[in-house]
Amino acid sequence: MGTYFLNLSKNKYTFSAEPVRVLVTGAAGQIAYSLLFGIAKGDVFGKDQPITLILLDITPMLPVLDGVVMELQDCALPLLREVIPTDKEEVAFKDLDAAILVGSMPRREGMERKDLLKANVAIFKSQGAALEKYAKKTVKVLVVGNPANTNCLIAAKSAPSIPKENFSCLTRLDHNRARSQVAMRCGVPATQVKNVIIWGNHSSTQYPDVHHCKVNMAGSDLACFAAVKDDDWLKGAFISTVQQRGAAVIAARKLSSAMSAAKAICDHMRDIWSGTPEGEFVSMGVYSSSNSYGVAEDLIYSFPVHIKDKQWKIVDGLAINDFSRGKMDATAAELVEERDTAVTFLSA
């Protein structure tokens, strides 16, 4: 595949910054189709930050990838300096600043979960090894492809010289879903809802927690339970709605979430690059080492985090009641089981 240069910067636009090199895998797929425009126009890495996009997909998808490249060219975006479509890991992972790993093996009808794990271990072991060999050691890696938490752990284990803290998985879509549900219930914009938490796995065991959430109503921050005034809903239908939202989208659309997933990816990477507002936290699947919530070591588990200077820190000291503890432990148990199964394939 060729390399496509976009020379718009020689005309009206001049930028002094070096381009950031951003990889998107599964780049011919529907999530990437919704994602690439946002990255390329500056929504993620900054409005004056030039971008080099590297697009990786499997060989049969290269003709589709050519069409995606044509569309990116036709957008005439001033920040987009270069687009590199490829099916080769040694090209895709070279000198990366950011890697967004969207592509994974989807679960097919009749497929056992262990077979899904086995197929994805092979993919993310290979991509982790490619990160180790070719990418910058400062690369920030976001795993989107499911099962995202365990795929992220496998990639991190396969790139031992890159800090584990540089790896995260996407639970921001679940976080955004939770904010939106609360906002709709209270009749306010989603921007008025902050500090929801997604604990655990990006699966139906995840725990959307609003015990520390604030809702701004009429200029005052209220505790979520006081704003919603429906404890049964917050402890029942709210949780199950967020947990099952992906399946509900598939049932309605006959396709998995793409637009909302792309928006969540942009939110997640923008916060890594630019930080989170003071007093606010977001949800990310991160390495569980040295957490204060009793979550087992050596997992990628979704926690509330603050981000500053491109470094995340788990928010410590939040009170956890018995209701929350049971749900946090249940999703952790699922992750331990996934990890233990995946690790057997990793060493095979």
**Alpha carbons 20 and 198: distance in angstroms, whole number:** 30
DSSP state of 277: -
Q: What are phi and psi of 81, to 5 degrees?
A: -85, -35
Q: Is 270 annotated as a binding residue?
A: no
202 flagged as catalytic: yes
DSSP state of 200: B
**Alpha carbons 259 and 198: distance in angstroms, whole number:** 20
Q: Is 145 annotated as a binding residue?
A: yes
Does residue 343 sit in helix, strand or coil?
helix
Q: Which of 175, 202, 268, 306 is catalytic?
A: 202
> For residue 70, how many other CB atoms are within 10 A of its CB?
12
**Alpha carbons 168 and 270: distance in angstroms, whole number:** 13
Q: Is 325 annotated as a binding residue?
A: no
DSSP of 76-136: T-TTEEEEEEES-HHHHTTT-SEEEE---PPPPTT--HHHHHHHHHHHHHHHHHHHHHHS-
Q: How deeply is 238 buried, as exposed, middle or buried, from its count of CB atoms within 10 A (0-12, 13-18, 19+)?
A: buried
Q: Which residues have CB under 8 Å from 149's CB, separation 6+?
A: 169, 201, 202, 203, 285, 299, 300, 301, 302, 335, 338
Q: What pairs with residue 194 in β-bridges?
A: 214
At 160, which amino acid appears? P
Q: Is 201 annotated as a binding residue?
A: no
| Residue 182 token pair | 């609360």
Q: Is 228 annotated as a binding residue?
A: no
Q: What pairs with residue 59 in β-bridges?
A: none
At 155, which amino acid appears? A
Q: Is 120 annotated as a binding residue?
A: yes
Q: What residues form the annotated binding site for NAD(+)? A: 57, 120, 144-146
* Catalytic residue positions, numbered: 202
Q: What residues form the annotated binding site for substrate? A: 107, 113, 146, 177
Q: What residues form the annotated binding site? A: 57, 107, 113, 120, 144-146, 177
